Amino acid sequence: MTFQEKLQAPGFFKNFALTALVFFVIVTIVSLILNNPGDFFSFNFDKIAAELLNDGKWKQFFGIKIVISVLYSLYITLKKTK
C-alpha cells in the first residue's frame, strides 16, 4: 500500500489525531515532571509557569512537543494502516 493510499484509508486521520493527542499529553506531563519534579508534585504550578511558559517561553516548550507528536503519530499510524 502506498503512502497516498494509506492517507486515504478510512479512519486514518482519526487514528492519527488520537495518537498525536495522547502522545502530546504524555510527553508534556513527562517533560514537566523532569524539568521541575518538586514543584510538579507539590502542585506549585505558578513557579513552573514562570520558569517554562511565561514571556513567550511556551512557544518553544510546546512547539517541539507538537512537532515530535505529529511525526511520531504519522509514523505509527502509517505503520499500522493496512
- List the domain boundaries for the chain: 12-80
pLDDT in tens, 9-61: 888 999 999 999 999 999 999 999 999 999 999 999 999 999 988 999 999 99
Quick one: pLDDT at residue 3?
80
pLDDT at 24: 97
**Rounded Cα distance, 26 and 8, in Å:** 28
Is-contact 81 1, C-beta < 8 A? Answer: yes
Band of residue 81 on the pLDDT scale cut at 50, 70, 90? confident
